[in-house]
Structure 1
Amino acid sequence: MAKIAAEVRRAAVARLEELRADGVLTAGHVRTVAQSTGVSERTVWRWLSPPAARSVRQPRPHYVLSETDREAFAFYRGNIAALHRARHAVVAGDGTTAGAPVPGFLAEGWDRARPVTLRTLQRAFAEELTPAERAAWQSGESGRRAASVYLQRPDALRGRCWEMDHKQIPLLVLPPKGKALCPWMTTVVDDGTRALLGWSVALAPTSGTVFTAMRMAMLHEPDVSPFGAVPERVRIDRGLEFAADAVEAALGTLAVVMHRLPAFTPHRKGKVERLNLTIEQTLISQLPGFTGGPRDAGGKLYGPVKDSVAAKQAAEGQAGGPMRIERFVDRFAAWARWYNTERPHRMLGGRTPLQAWTDDPAPLRRIPADELRHLMLADAERTIRKDGISFNSLSYVAPELQGRGGQVVQIRYMPHDDRQIEVYLAGKHLCTAHPTGQLTAKQTDAFRIHAAAEAKRLGQERRRASRQARRTLAPMTGDGTPPAESRLVPEGDGRTRTQRERDQALAARASTSLLGLTDPTADPES
Structure 2
Amino acid sequence: MAKIAAEVRRTAVARLEQLRTDGVLTAGHVRTVAQSAGVSERTVWRWLLPPAARPVRQPRPRYALSETDREAFAYYRGNIAALHRARQAVLDGDGTTAGAPVPLFLAEGWAGARSVTLRTLQRAFGQELTPAEQAAWRAGESGRQAAAVHLRRPDALRGRCWEMDHKQLPLVVLPPKGKAISPWLTTVVDDGTRALLGWAIAVTPTSGTVFTAMRMAMLHEPEVSPFGAVPERVRIDRGLEFAADDVEAALGTLAVVMHRLPPFQPHRKGKVERLNLTIEQTLISQLPGFTGGPRDASGKLYGPVKDSVAAKQAAEGHSDGPMRIERFVDRFAAWARWYNTERPHRMLAGRIPLQAWTDDVAPLRRIGADQLRHLMLAAADRTIQKDGISFRSLTYVAPELYGRGGQRVQIRYMPHDDRSIEVYIGTKHLCTAYPTGQLTPEQTDAFRAHARAEADRLGRERRRATRRARRELAPMTGDGTPPAESRLVAASDGCALTQYDRDRALAAKASTSLLGLTDPTAAPEA
Using structure 2 for the length normalisation, give the TM-score.
0.85
- The 2-side partners of 1:51 and 1:217 are apart by 72
Name the residue aligned to 2:230.
230
The aligned amino acid for 2:467 is R
The aligned amino acid for 1:198 is G
- After TM superposition, the structure 1 = structure 2 runs for residues 406-485 of structure 1, keeping only pairs within 5 Å, are 406-436=406-436, 439=439, 443=443, 446-447=446-447, 450-451=450-451, 453-475=453-475, 482-484=476-478
Quickly say closer, same or farther: Cα 1:16–1:362, change in 2 above 3 A. closer
Deviation per CA, 1:225-277: give whole Å up to 9, x if none.
Answer: 22111112111111111111221222122222222222222222221112112
Name the residue aligned to 1:38.
38
Asked if 1:220 is matched to 2:220, the reply is yes
Moved more, 294-303 or 381-390: 381-390
> How far off is 1:222 after superposition?
2.1
Name the residue aligned to 1:326.
326
Aligned residues of 1:285 and 1:293 also touching (Cα < 8 A): yes
> How far off is 1:64 after superposition?
0.5
Deviation per CA, 1:53-109: give whole Å up to 9, x if none.
Answer: 765433111010000010111111111111111111111111111111111111111
Quickly say closer, same or farther: Cα 1:53–1:506, change in 2 above 3 A. closer
What secondary structure does 2:379 align onto? strand
The aligned amino acid for 2:338 is W
- The 2-side partners of 1:428 and 1:15 are apart by 88
The aligned amino acid for 1:462 is R
> How far off is 1:278 after superposition?
1.6
Alignment counterpart, residue 318 of structure 2, candidates 313, 317, 337: 313
- After TM superposition, the structure 1 = structure 2 runs for residues 136-151 of structure 1, keeping only pairs within 5 Å, are 136-151=136-151
Aligned residues of 2:181 and 2:312 also touching (Cα < 8 A): no
What secondary structure does 1:258 align onto? strand
Deviation per CA, 1:360-394: give whole Å up to 9, x if none.
Answer: 11111111222222221011222333443343454
- After TM superposition, the structure 1 = structure 2 runs for residues 513-524 of structure 1, keeping only pairs within 5 Å, are 515=509
Name the residue aligned to 1:369.
369
- After TM superposition, the structure 1 = structure 2 runs for residues 93-108 of structure 1, keeping only pairs within 5 Å, are 93-108=93-108
- The 2-side partners of 1:377 and 1:194 are apart by 25
Unaligned runs of 5+ in 1: 316-320, 476-481, 488-502
Quickly say closer, same or farther: Cα 1:438–1:519, change in 2 above 3 A. closer
Asked if 1:348 is matched to 2:348, the reply is yes
Deviation per CA, 1:377-431: give whole Å up to 9, x if none.
Answer: 0112223334433434544333322222332211101122333321111322112
Asked if 1:380 is matched to 2:385, the reply is no
What secondary structure does 2:318 align onto? helix
Quickly say closer, same or farther: Cα 1:32–1:304, change in 2 above 3 A. closer
Aligned residues of 1:161 and 1:231 also touching (Cα < 8 A): yes
- The 2-side partners of 1:105 and 1:440 are apart by 84
The aligned amino acid for 1:243 is A
Moved more, 23-32 or 228-237: 23-32
> How far off is 1:14 after superposition?
5.4
Q: Percent identity?
A: 80
> How far off is 1:20 after superposition?
6.0
Aligned residues of 1:509 and 1:519 also touching (Cα < 8 A): no
Name the residue aligned to 1:244.
244
What secondary structure does 1:484 align onto? coil
Quickly say closer, same or farther: Cα 1:294–1:28, change in 2 above 3 A. same
Aligned residues of 1:178 and 1:307 also touching (Cα < 8 A): no
Moved more, 71-80 or 17-26: 17-26
RMSD over equivalenced CA pairs, Å: 3.1
The aligned amino acid for 1:199 is W
The aligned amino acid for 2:290 is F
What secondary structure does 2:222 align onto? coil
Name the residue aligned to 2:304.
303
Quickly say closer, same or farther: Cα 1:28–1:260, change in 2 above 3 A. closer
Quickly say closer, same or farther: Cα 1:520–1:454, change in 2 above 3 A. closer
- The 2-side partners of 1:60 and 1:507 are apart by 130
Name the residue aligned to 2:391.
391
- The 2-side partners of 1:138 and 1:456 are apart by 81
- After TM superposition, the structure 1 = structure 2 runs for residues 71-220 of structure 1, keeping only pairs within 5 Å, are 71-220=71-220
Aligned residues of 1:174 and 1:181 also touching (Cα < 8 A): yes
What secondary structure does 2:77 align onto? coil
What secondary structure does 2:173 align onto? coil
Quickly say closer, same or farther: Cα 1:362–1:506, change in 2 above 3 A. closer
> How far off is 1:322 after superposition?
2.9
- The 1-side partners of 2:374 and 2:46 are apart by 85
What secondary structure does 2:319 align onto? helix
Aligned residues of 2:399 and 2:450 also touching (Cα < 8 A): yes
> How far off is 1:323 after superposition?
2.0
Quickly say closer, same or farther: Cα 1:311–1:424, change in 2 above 3 A. closer
Quickly say closer, same or farther: Cα 1:288–1:54, change in 2 above 3 A. same
What secondary structure does 1:179 align onto? coil
> How far off is 1:45 after superposition?
4.4
Aligned residues of 2:84 and 2:118 also touching (Cα < 8 A): yes
> How far off is 1:214 after superposition?
0.9
Quickly say closer, same or farther: Cα 1:464–1:35, change in 2 above 3 A. same
Aligned pair count reads 495
Quickly say closer, same or farther: Cα 1:10–1:347, change in 2 above 3 A. closer
Using structure 1 for the length normalisation, give the TM-score.
0.85
Quickly say closer, same or farther: Cα 1:308–1:436, change in 2 above 3 A. farther
- The 1-side partners of 2:486 and 2:59 are apart by 141
- The 2-side partners of 1:310 and 1:157 are apart by 47
- The 2-side partners of 1:505 and 1:41 are apart by 140
The aligned amino acid for 1:206 is T
Aligned residues of 1:174 and 1:312 also touching (Cα < 8 A): no
- The 2-side partners of 1:46 and 1:520 are apart by 152
> How far off is 1:198 after superposition?
0.8
Aligned residues of 1:34 and 1:40 also touching (Cα < 8 A): yes
Quickly say closer, same or farther: Cα 1:63–1:178, change in 2 above 3 A. same
- The 2-side partners of 1:441 and 1:313 are apart by 40
Name the residue aligned to 2:496.
none
> How far off is 1:166 after superposition?
1.0
What secondary structure does 1:313 align onto? coil
Aligned residues of 1:234 and 1:257 also touching (Cα < 8 A): yes
Moved more, 7-16 or 393-402: 7-16
> How far off is 1:159 after superposition?
1.2
Unaligned runs of 5+ in 2: 491-504, 511-517
